[in-house]
Amino acid sequence: MPNCDWINKLRTVIGAVALSGGLIASTNVRAADYDVGPIHIAQPWARATPKGASSGAGYMTITNNGTTPDRVTCLSSDLSAQCQIHTMTMDNGVMKMRPVEGGLEVKPGETLVLKPSSLHVMLVDLKHPLNKGDTVEATLQFEKAGTVKVAFPVMAIGAAAPGASAGSGTMMEGHGTTMQMNKH
Ligand SMILES: [Cu+2]
């Protein structure tokens, strides 16, 4: 039955086009994961910054699938003069962030979640504001596992935790102070 055969071929072609279209769409939306030695990095993203902001932040999850602890620092970023890893803690009711001294420890079997109002990659002295749809790259160095360049897709400012804008001025203020102290 030649007719039937032709329809089946057409179906296959349509199916393949639909499938590849779907794959392209999903890779555009989803950020890449990274592996370096036993370290797995998933869902990197950065938050868009308002005009005039001097620093921005990147987030991701870091899992240590190895058997020994490792320590991660941020070496550099393509869109900022400096790159650091910061912790955020409450100090007398004020959120303060500080660079992690000597690298952020990732214990064996542990997954660290870098997210707004918590651990983050700090992009200090941005070359220009981070706009939604941009990608910012940062090179992370693991003491044992080695270095990996991670691309952080920039999400909307609104992708942040609610109420974050109200405290951001104070956070930046505190940030500037700790940066000064860190330079000596
Ligand atoms: Cu910070």
| Domain residue limits, the chain | 1-28, 31-182
10 Å Cβ neighbour count for 55?
22
More reliable by pLDDT, 84 or 166: 84
What is the pLDDT at residue 7? Answer: 53
Cα-to-centroid distance, 24 and ligand 1 (Å): 34
Give the pLDDT mean for 129-151: 97
Please tell me the number of Cα atoms within 13 Å of 155 on its side-chain side: 19
- List Cβ neighbours of 65 (8 Å cut-off, separation of 6 or more): 38, 39, 40, 109
Given a contact cutoff of 8 angstroms between Cβ atoms, the answer to whether 128 and 56 are in contact is: no
Given a contact cutoff of 8 angstroms between Cβ atoms, the answer to whether 110 and 123 are in contact is: no
**Looking at the predicted structure, is the pLDDT value of residue 130 above 50?**
yes
Question: Taking the domain 31-182, which CATH number applies?
Answer: 2.60.40.1890
**Looking at the predicted structure, is the pLDDT value of residue 9 above 90?**
no
Cα-to-centroid distance, 98 and ligand 1 (Å): 6
Cα-to-centroid distance, 140 and ligand 1 (Å): 16
Cα-to-centroid distance, 25 and ligand 1 (Å): 33
In terms of Cα–Cα distance, which of 169, 157, 182, 172 is closest to 97? 172
Give the pLDDT mean for 145-167: 73
Dist. CA 71–CA 73, nearest whole Å: 7
